[in-house]
Amino acid sequence: MDGRGTGEKDAGALAQAAALRRRLRVIATTDLHSALLPFDYFAAQPAPGIGLARAAGLATRLAAAAGLDGGLALLVDNGDFLQGAPLGDFVGLDRGLAADEAHPMIAAMNAAGYAAATLGNHDFDYGLDFLLAALAGARFPVVSANAVLAPGASPRADRTLVPPWTILERRLHDAAGVERPLRIGLIGLLPPQTAVWNAKHLDGRLTVRDMVETAAARVPELREAGAEVVIALAHTGIGPGRAVPGMENAAIPLARVPGIDAIVAGHSHLLFPSAGFAGRAGVSGRRGTIFGRPVAMAGAWGAHLGVLDLDLAHGPGGWRVAGGRGAVRAVGRRGPGGGQQGAAPASPAVLAAAEAWHAETLAYLGRAVGRTLRPISSHFALVAPDPGMALIAAAQTAHVAARLRGTAHAGLPVLAAVAPFKAGGRGGPGFYTDIPAGPLTMRDVADLYLYPNHIRALRLTGAEVLDWLERGAAQFARVAPGAQDAPLIDPAFPSHNFDVMHGMTYAIDLSAPARHGPEGELLDPAASRITDARLGGRPLDPRAEVIVATNDYRAAGGGRFLGAGAARVVLDGAETNRAVLAAWLAAQGTVDPRAAEVWRFRPMPGTTVLFDSAPAAARHLPALGRGDITVAGPGPGGFLRFRLAL
């Protein structure tokens, strides 16, 4: 009885306190990567748990719920919306936009009622002119404070590509029922690495300032301009706690910039709040806050929404944020039959905006390119030479050798650096290439070469090639001789930095420490895992000169590979690596993809390691012809675990 009475009194007090507050709910997408519809263009089948159409449908519900108790909701996007899924590449690389034609993602965001957006690094992938043409159709402000056309003496004096910030004017009833203006400031930020990753488009045209420095300078400006609430649309992940100049994942230091009330984070394609960030100083997964500031980070592809619920209080100085929390909501859920279904119906307005573009994209992807005599799967690309990567390498090598004919670089050996792009990891157990034998279409080519990179060739020494391989070999954990079921792969290492050098052979010694860390940082210049490196059957001479066929991301310094840099570029083609692959496949007509003899682990008798791949990998194991790899049992998160005897 007593307990019940006290509970009622507490509930009454809480309700009264709540009535004095008003909620501002910020609903955020991030890293949509042109996932417009709940559709997987690679598998050519519905994917109910992803896409802006479904995300916008759920956002409508979440906004309505906020409105029920007198609150206000805003829908915002945090960047990386233009590039990624085949629809984005089709528009950005092949079809282009007619004059005054709205980009399908922008048209859909208009239809969904976005209040504002910022830019991500990948929004520059098709060049500045394309980006500006796409943004011209936006009926909402797009802000970015550190994408700079002309740097000034301080961030506030910079001339930026788009406005650094905006103030949205809204109205909200205070606790006494009086309607008051509410001025919501939004500032945009993106990683400075963008200028390196997209050097092919941005060199000489755009620089990107440090995010923390920019925010510290611009947030006071935003406050001076009248913003009562300041939200950072920060296309950046949750990384180190201490600010270092030029950091890529700066959400924690940004949370400590005075004047920022809350943060929409992203870029890393991870979720916050989530267990993965537990235990870091200042980070509360329970509250969804970092140093008390609400933060939400909604993964990628529109599979989740970030939700910032900010409690606003009105006083003599206007509105201020009195508290709040961050959360994420999944756009898909398990249906009665176990399959995925949408958590809310798709937005009809977005579906209507997408319809014609979807049909055009399907027609483009269905175009025939060639034939393959065998299935092509990437399920073992992290642990063994991979047939799909061998095709890409053959195409790059042939293209570069042909282009260098008659130049001062002709006659040098041409190697091809290729990394597995679809290799599970954060992409989950469905994130693999899995193409059956038979006709190859543009869909398969896009699946094999996922990113809109451009072909590059570098002239390097043998020593630089060896260091390049050391950098990629940082993917692997160190394994003690005789260890049983040791983990093989460092989960912090992105597979797109595991470059395999085709055209030579080498072994990787897992018992040795890695020379580089997962981000490319030099840990120990004397450490060496690459052994028995051979070119043309002979030991690779460190002074030899070779050509390495690669992409613009790597050539500009992406992944921090030694020897990469503008000075070494001997070929910078206008063709994408994907177009090079498509042309080569068409010229071949029919291919018989087999794993090239490129690399192997140095034998460690009596030692076993474990790695994860998709359950579908078991189907491809016999064709791999590797008796040293066996199924070990179920892995985490829907993966299947394999054992490799070294």
Binding site for Mg ion (CB under 5 A): 80, 120-121, 267
Closer residue to Mn ion, CB minimum distance, 248 or 444: 248
**Cβ contacts of residue 157 below 8 Å, gap of 6+?**
none
Closer residue to Mn ion, CB minimum distance, 55 or 349: 55
Report the partner that residue 77 touches, choosing among Mg ion, Mn ion, none (CB closer than 5 to 8 A by kind). none
Cβ 80 to Mn ion shortest distance, Å? 4
Q: Quick check: 535 and 512 in contact, CB under 8 A?
A: no
Q: Quick check: 309 and 21 in contact, CB under 8 A?
A: no
Reduced 3-state DSSP string for 354-395:
HHHHHHHHHHHHCCEEEEECCCEECCCCCCCCCHHHHHHHHH
Closer residue to Mn ion, CB minimum distance, 31 or 174: 31
Count of positions on this chain that bind Mn ion (CB under 5 A): 2
Cβ 551 to Mg ion shortest distance, Å? 17
Which segments of 85-226 does DSSP mark as H helices, in order? 86-89, 104-112, 128-135, 194-197, 199-202, 211-224
Reduced 3-state DSSP string for 158-178:
CEECCCCEEEEEEEEECCCCC
Q: Quick check: 49 and 98 in contact, CB under 8 A?
A: no
Cβ 622 to Mn ion shortest distance, Å? 36
Report the partner that residue 141 touches, choosing among Mn ion, Mg ion, none (CB closer than 5 to 8 A by kind). none
Closer residue to Mg ion, CB minimum distance, 81 or 642: 81
- Per-residue binder mask for Mn ion (CB under 5 A), 485-524, x = binder: ----------------------------------------
Binding to Mn ion by residue 125, rule CB under 5 A?
no
Closer residue to Mn ion, CB minimum distance, 77 or 80: 80
Question: Could you tell me which of 564, 482, 476 has the C-alpha nearest to residue 514?
Answer: 476
Cβ 408 to Mg ion shortest distance, Å? 38
CB atoms within 10 A of CB 99: 5
Using the 8-state DSSP alphabet, how is residue 497 labeled? G
Report the partner that residue 396 touches, choosing among Mg ion, Mn ion, none (CB closer than 5 to 8 A by kind). none
Cβ 122 to Mn ion shortest distance, Å? 6
Which segments of 249-379 does DSSP mark as H helices, in order? 251-255, 348-365
Distance CA 211, CA 191 (A): 7
Report the partner that residue 576 touches, choosing among Mn ion, Mg ion, none (CB closer than 5 to 8 A by kind). none
Closer residue to Mn ion, CB minimum distance, 31 or 309: 31
Considering only 27-35, 102-110, 130-138, 381-389, which stretch makes contact with Mn ion by CB under 5 A?
27-35
Minimal CB distance residue for Mg ion: 267
Considering only 16-24, 45-53, 80-88, 394-402, which stretch makes contact with Mn ion by CB under 5 A?
80-88
Cβ 267 to Mg ion shortest distance, Å? 4
**Cβ contacts of residue 360 below 8 Å, gap of 6+?**
90, 95
Report the partner that residue 503 touches, choosing among Mg ion, Mn ion, none (CB closer than 5 to 8 A by kind). none
Closer residue to Mg ion, CB minimum distance, 29 or 340: 29
Query: 207: buried, middle or exposed (CB in 10 Å: 19+, 13-18, 0-12)?
Result: middle
Cβ 239 to Mg ion shortest distance, Å? 13
Cβ 401 to Mn ion shortest distance, Å? 34
Cβ 450 to Mn ion shortest distance, Å? 13
Cβ 266 to Mn ion shortest distance, Å? 7
Considering only 40-48, 76-84, 430-438, 512-520, which stretch makes contact with Mn ion by CB under 5 A?
76-84
Q: Is 55 helix (H, G, I), strand (E, B) or coil?
A: helix
Report the partner that residue 403 touches, choosing among Mg ion, Mn ion, none (CB closer than 5 to 8 A by kind). none
Cβ 265 to Mn ion shortest distance, Å? 12
Measured in residues, the chain has a length of 646
Distance CA 628, CA 646 (A): 7
Binding to Mn ion by residue 123, rule CB under 5 A?
no
Report the partner that residue 121 touches, choosing among Mn ion, Mg ion, none (CB closer than 5 to 8 A by kind). Mg ion
Sign of torsion over alpha carbons 374, 379, 380, 385: positive
β-pair type (147-150, 207-208): antiparallel
Q: Quick check: 468 and 562 in contact, CB under 8 A?
A: yes
Please state the separation of Cα 577 from the chain's center in Å.
19
Closer residue to Mn ion, CB minimum distance, 146 or 284: 146
For residue 67, what is the enclosing H or E element? helix 52-68
Distance CA 62, CA 569 (A): 50
Binding to Mn ion by residue 210, rule CB under 5 A?
no
Closer residue to Mn ion, CB minimum distance, 92 or 563: 92
Binding to Mn ion by residue 31, rule CB under 5 A?
yes
Retrieve residue 265's tokens.
């984070």
Closer residue to Mg ion, CB minimum distance, 29 or 396: 29
Binding to Mn ion by residue 80, rule CB under 5 A?
yes
Closer residue to Mn ion, CB minimum distance, 193 or 528: 193
Retrieve residue 621's tokens.
């194991």
Distance CA 439, CA 205 (A): 42
Cβ 31 to Mn ion shortest distance, Å? 4
Question: Could you tell me which of 183, 205, 174, 213 has the C-alpha nearest to residue 70?
Answer: 174
Retrieve residue 466's tokens.
């060896």
Closer residue to Mg ion, CB minimum distance, 80 or 464: 80
Backbone torsions φ then ψ of 450, nearest 5 degrees:
-75, -30
Question: Could you tell me which of 478, 503, 475 has the C-alpha nearest to residue 489?
Answer: 475
Residues in contact with Mn ion by the rule CB under 5 A:
31, 80
